[in-house]
Structure 1
């Protein structure tokens, strides 16, 4: 392996490390959803009712979706290198459609265990898939610089919609929700079937477009020190933007920061930014540290980075498996704790009654056990992808 290939491998490894880390943290939030006693009845981010540990447990997982979408855009840029615009665009289009199908058919069932698909859940995989379709269209005819500019405009400008009243026309209002302002929008398909749109498309498209633009810093031949400086500068600038907007408290989040006569609650309120839909402040709070992490981790190699890189190399495989493993564990615990079949049909998750669950120590134990149990399967599949060339491996 020559020097250029070695450098490229290190760069990709740093991406896998960050992606693996956010995948591990992401599982904590889903474990909390399934197993925490208050997951169905309280808001862990409400300074009036939460505790410091509960707030942190939910807040730390805020970093997962933006970082994952950002890295998806970055990886899309890298995968396009050496391909014609047409071939790269066609792959993104097919992968985007595939991801939407997986969200509808596989992820929804893993979340709900409802064979009737009465409640279809559209979350991050849906947003990534739809964003890839937009990226397929734009990347075919536009440069990465223009795509980066469009991404920045979407990220910085989408909160302008919060300043104007919603359209009176129902169809226009629904389109605005799906593309810009979705925050748990439920669309009825029939009396017994619904679609929950939890991720507004174009806001996440903006994050992916920014990642695609940043991907140019990872192309072959790009100076590693210059890339590190770029990441540090943009990371610190993004964190500064978050802090400044949060202090000014006028723009960048649909729910203004609430002030308390309590220092601890004020601190929690400062970091309690809006994810559904993701506000500018939310994106700045999460992507700034992500870029700083990329800058720092590129030259680090130890047992921790080697383990996290395994999860990050096969994120789709891990993502699907962890939902099914968590839900199977939920079914076992459901019956083991004396619940009956009469309590199975619950919304949105079957086998998850409202009055069910454990404290945070048990939640953390289950989370660590699930993540640890997936390490060997992920390592096996990583090796399989590296040693096999079947066409379908490009989509998982």
Structure 2
């Protein structure tokens, strides 16, 4: 075999390896848009949690449940992407600098641009939701320090944070109970940022909702970074490892969940029928992401990476790869698209839309009671939104492929 042929095969193998990562990332991002479309469109959003087994339907439950895969995969692959940058020749000093600056940029976006896109208002008394972009940003800043340790140490650190953080569940601070009640103090606010989701106050009526707490998510990114080392292994052997690892994590979820001994503060129980008992089994805690939540989501995702490497590239998978190559660009656009479509649909249906322009504390009391659409309509607008975003993402993916401007790595 000639050197040219060998290089061509090596390049093809590398491309399929990276395409499998982009395909998985694109898939979970499209699924993420389903959840955000539901939040803006569905008539039952103000009334009950779709995971509430006493009120939900199986279809509504799975519409919400399937989106559980999004954040863990997003954060995990952000760590993997950092390792792949290092493996392609970036020094640890250069990588640390990039992780810090990009992390700060993501936190800035979460508290400014995303505030406007999610709420469609400029009332900065509500700073915003500290969500997945915030968690990725802070986790990147922490990873900037961790990458100077051996990969095995980083792996042990990440796994320990994922596996052991549920030991902290019993440490609970008093949540804010509403107007006229005491607000959490500084240290209680810090704990909400680290492990117990809640509303934190900064004085003069300025507040934020810490939803994505940092301890487990930093662990997920560290685990994702060390996972990237598997991509140095020969392709066929790596795929076998990914399948075994993904299967083992999924099986571990089933075994630990069945015992009810550890890993999630919310135990499963027998329900009115077998289907709802299965739903109870799958109904694990996302805020903060429990050990079982992360096993349930990352196990199948890791196995999927092996499958995607061997899978053919039809039009749907090519479209998902395109989305996966521009994750932040897509993330920003999908909030805008879902929210704008909801306002337009409400106006066309003759529904009041002021509800779509208020923050999280005012939403419950501003709900007009007759806003929203059925679940099938949610799916129609989700598909429409994804279709609208594809040409824009394809264009931007082309820009990133043709040009090497430094600022493109921040989008």
Q: TM-score range, shorter-chain basis?
A: over 0.9
* From 102, 115, 124, the counterpart of 2:122: 115
1:374 alignment partner, SS class: helix
How far does the alpha carbon of each residue in 1:244-297 deviate from its partner, in whole angstroms, 9 at most, with x for none?
Answer: 111001210022223335322211100000001100010000000001100111
Please state if 1:31 is matched with 2:31.
no
- Contact 2:119/2:356 (<8 A) preserved: no
* Equivalent residue, structure 1, for 2:110: 103
* From 257, 261, 279, the counterpart of 1:268: 279
Q: 1:211 to 1:343 in 2, by over 3 A?
A: closer
* Equivalent residue, structure 2, for 1:53: 59
CA distance in 1, matches of 2:72, 2:306: 17
* From 322, 331, 353, the counterpart of 2:367: 353
* Equivalent residue, structure 2, for 1:173: 188
1:117 alignment partner, SS class: coil
* Equivalent residue, structure 2, for 1:149: 156
* Equivalent residue, structure 2, for 1:75: 81
CA distance in 1, matches of 2:163, 2:410: 31
**Following TM superposition, by how much is the alpha carbon of 1:350 offset from its aligned partner in structure 2, in angstroms?**
7.6
CA distance in 2, matches of 1:165, 1:57: 30
Q: 1:274 to 1:372 in 2, by over 3 A?
A: same
5 Å-filtered alignment, 1:283-298, equals 283-298=294-309
5 Å-filtered alignment, 1:147-296, equals 147-164=154-171, 166=173, 170-182=185-197, 185-219=198-232, 222-296=233-307
CA distance in 1, matches of 2:217, 2:352: 40
CA distance in 2, matches of 1:342, 1:125: 27
CA distance in 1, matches of 2:281, 2:375: 23
* Equivalent residue, structure 2, for 1:126: 134
* Equivalent residue, structure 1, for 2:331: 319
Q: TM-score, normalised by structure 1?
A: 0.94
The unaligned stretches of length 5 or more in structure 1 are none
The unaligned stretches of length 5 or more in structure 2 are 1-6, 176-183
Q: 1:384 to 1:165 in 2, by over 3 A?
A: closer
* Equivalent residue, structure 2, for 1:394: 409
How far does the alpha carbon of each residue in 1:170-203 deviate from its partner, in whole angstroms, 9 at most, with x for none?
Answer: 4443322211222xx1112344432111000121
**Following TM superposition, by how much is the alpha carbon of 1:340 offset from its aligned partner in structure 2, in angstroms?**
4.9
**Following TM superposition, by how much is the alpha carbon of 1:321 offset from its aligned partner in structure 2, in angstroms?**
0.6
Q: 1:358 to 1:341 in 2, by over 3 A?
A: closer
How far does the alpha carbon of each residue in 1:281-337 deviate from its partner, in whole angstroms, 9 at most, with x for none?
Answer: 100000000011001110112322211101101111111011111112222223333
2:212 alignment partner, SS class: coil
Q: 1:340 to 1:358 in 2, by over 3 A?
A: closer
CA distance in 1, matches of 2:68, 2:291: 13
What's the RMSD between the two structures over aligned residues? 2.1
Please state if 1:332 is matched with 2:327.
no
- Contact 1:33/1:40 (<8 A) preserved: no
**Following TM superposition, by how much is the alpha carbon of 1:164 offset from its aligned partner in structure 2, in angstroms?**
4.8
Matched residue count: 391
CA distance in 2, matches of 1:354, 1:52: 26
Q: 1:325 to 1:52 in 2, by over 3 A?
A: same
Please state if 1:384 is matched with 2:399.
yes
